[in-house]
Amino acid sequence: MAPPVEGFPDVLAVAPLTAAPDVTLRPPGSKSITNRALLCAALAPGRSVLRGALFADDTRAMLGAIAGLGAGVGADEDRATVTVDGIDPRTTATGGTLDARQSGTTSRFVLPVAALGTGRTVVDGAAQLRARPFGPLIDALRDLGAEVTEEGEPGRLPVAVRGPVRGGEVDLPGHLSSQFISGLLMAGPLMRDGLRMRLTSELVSVPYLDMTVAVMAAFGVDAERLAVAPGAYRPADYAVEPDASAASYLLAAAAVTGGRVTVAGLGAGSLQGDVAFADALERMGARVERYADRITVTGTGALRGIDIDMADISDTAQTLAAVAVFADGPTRVRGIGFIRGKETDRIHAVVTELRRAGLDAVEHDDGFTVNPGTPSPTRFATYDDHRMAMSLALLGLRVPGIEIADPGCVAKTYPGYFTDLDRLR
């Protein structure tokens, strides 16, 4: 069990709703966009301002990392605003140790940036992050000219890097994590020879690469998914949109309770691929209304089981598993084998917990099948994984006796999640 998080109980009971909700909510800023924008701002000499930024454990890890690289950082949490005075890490970074905590984006994004400078920089993190794979990124940095030392297990953090990384062409797999590619791409403009990546396996999570390219463009760098020429970042005043992965839980709540939930600030033009989770709910029978500045989901009281490939929206797979419990037939989720290497083995974990509640769930190499049923009263383990806690809590909106162990793990990306869940009441 993870240590308790300040402000959260050890166990949280979720009471069923007594009436269908009809609310408008705005989730916090996107973690994925916030961390990309923070890094691009840190690489843009001059002052940038990020508005609507997320303040959670993962983004605080990035704030600490860019400060460790030499950027100036000012934060106003009440206004969700960050100011960043950027640097050129090729000339100003002095080395040291960067603590990425549990943040995969922070660690995989700052490692290539740390390799731009001539100082020796160590990137490390919590035990959970040390267990996640880094081998392809380590190999790519070596191939691009960096000096890389694995100070623990091969292919794992902690990793020490020293540059300057020269850039050029490099091969790396696409099936493990798009974060490797995004991290290299954001460092690429500051590499002497630019960067061109060749994939040795099929690319997963394509929308996240498109997001990286879009955020880089906002800070003055034109890039393609797998290539970028030498160039320079420019400071920007940048607005961060609400987190689409976080929104998935709120939209799912409408589908499973027969209520209506509108997510404000997240519209059809979102940079985030996870807005497509609404499409999955629509396939299952919910009514979805899409606007430029909001999405509304209304539960119809009837949900269908579906067969769906979620490779491009894998962070919402556990959310769909919770919805699938209340469908009229089995739901098969495919294409997400790579999420076994996330905060926990998310396929095994979600199947294990659904079975704990007496439900019929089946684990596959590339995903899972959930057969509908009525959950028994259960205290769910959350594996120190924020997405396990947030998705399994949805079951408690429909059935009594659902408890969430270690609810504080939601602080990783959505500290106010359970407050927002209560607003459905």
Catalytic machinery residues: 315
Give the span between the Cα atoms of 392 and 413, in whole angstroms.
Answer: 16
Task: Give me the phi and psi of 150, to 5 degrees please.
Answer: -85, 115
**Contact by Cβ (8 Å): 211, 183:** no
**Tell me, what DSSP letter sits at residue 240?**
P
The first and second tokens of residue 186, run together, are 């954001």
> What kind and span of H or E run contains 265?
none
> What kind and span of H or E run contains 289?
strand 287-290
As a dihedral over the C-alpha atoms of residue 352, residue 353, residue 355, residue 360, rounded to 10 degrees, the angle is -90
* Cα distances (angstroms) measured from residue 154 to each of 131, 132, 140, 148, 338: 11, 11, 14, 11, 19
H-state helical runs in 154-205: 178-187
The first and second tokens of residue 114, run together, are 């740390």
Give the three-class secondary structure for 324: helix
**Contact by Cβ (8 Å): 40, 233:** yes
The first and second tokens of residue 117, run together, are 């400078």
SS percent in the chain: helix, strand, coil, step 5: 40, 20, 40
Instruction: Report which of 123, 125, 164 is spatially closest to residue 147, judged by C-alpha positions.
Output: 164
What is the gyration radius of the CA atoms in the chain, in angstroms?
A: 21
DSSP state string for 45-114: SEEEEEES---SHHHHHHHHHHHHHT-EEEEEGGGTEEEEEE--HHHH---EEEE-TT-HHHHHHHHHHH
Is the bond preceding 164 in cis, omega lying within 30 degrees of 0? yes
